[in-house]
Structure 1
Amino acid sequence: MNKRAFLGLLLPVVSSLSASAEDNTRVSVTILSDGQRQTGVAVNRGYDNTVDLFDQDGNYLGTLSRSKTLAAGVYLYESHHFSGTLDFSGRIDNTFVVRNPVPSTPEDFLLQRAEERMKDGNSSGALADFNEVIRLKPESGFTLERRAYVYRSQGNKEAFLADLNQALLLYRKGGNEVESRRLQQTILSLQRYFSQGGF
């Protein structure tokens, strides 16, 4: 990861999203960072009511969870660092704002590199980075959840579900009701999907 990309995580970010009705999985993103404007993308996973934000270089910025329906097709998405509305039909301007500054820590660097390695198909490298973050911050439900998707990419269903369930326990332990509700819905959806033979 280059220095500019890493420093970009440390700047206040405001994301204004627009989307077409034909494409409800990937939407273009305008990111305002310290007065500078750049393009990016938001990815809707589809099955777990979350969106992932990426900058123009594909660097992962964060995951937001749908916490409330504001109107037909208009939703409130939240995370520890971001909060905002999203309408995939493009009827309104969608804006995400920073709730808490992103700290500059070794764990953040490792998380960022893990996401880049996942994007590049380097699951073993991503797993090593996530393992190190979990060693440094064993109470991080977010990291366990992200590591779960590495296991899924490797075909390890048992480890995938184990990490998701452990992440759910940590979210509950930390009083994170938004993430707890979102992940519980995800696990239930996955269980139904797996019962039909999917993975």
Structure 2
Amino acid sequence: MLAVQDVRFAYRHGAEELFGGLSCTFTTGAVTAITGASGRGKSTLLYLLGLMLRPTSGAVLLGDIRVDHLPDARRAELRAQRLGFVFQDAALDPARTILDSVVEPALYAGSHRRDVTGRARDLLERLGVAERADHRPGEISGGQAQRVAVARALINSPAVVLADEPTGNLDHDNAAIVLAALRGAARDGAATIIATHDDFVLQHCDQRVEL
């Protein structure tokens, strides 16, 4: 279970608060869309759920444990072991090969490279970019980079998958591949949460949180 209880957030003291005391639970095994107009805090909510920001007030729960106030080292450990994040711009390291980028989160989580390389290649194959494994981000298209970012987010079979506008800059075919992989993560038991304004994505989500 992933949940927020009475969450509010402001980027600085005295700034306008977001969310107004939001409480909701994100269902395991389901795809939940976070929607709302620009500026309502869709990406910010993902960063709170992903333990990259702390709420001004309220709580973030992972399972039965409150996690928003844990020490930074413990939050980083949870991010590595239980969370997968797809950033809006793919955020691939330009100096690393595609395969290295996908494997990297598993190494942070304590796995040995030899134990995860096969899964990384399987994910790249599933997402249609296996032939690019030895390339670098500057040598692939934006749509391919976003599919690589999804593979990277799924490498550890995370309990929670967070995706920030993952189809925002993609054509329909690439968007369908990305969405199928995210829905597959939900079928495997993950709470899959997508910040989106894409009608195509919304049609394939099980739940919706409107900000």
Indicate whether the TM-score tops 0.5: no
TM-score by length of 1: 0.29
TM-score by length of 2: 0.28
Higher strand share: 1
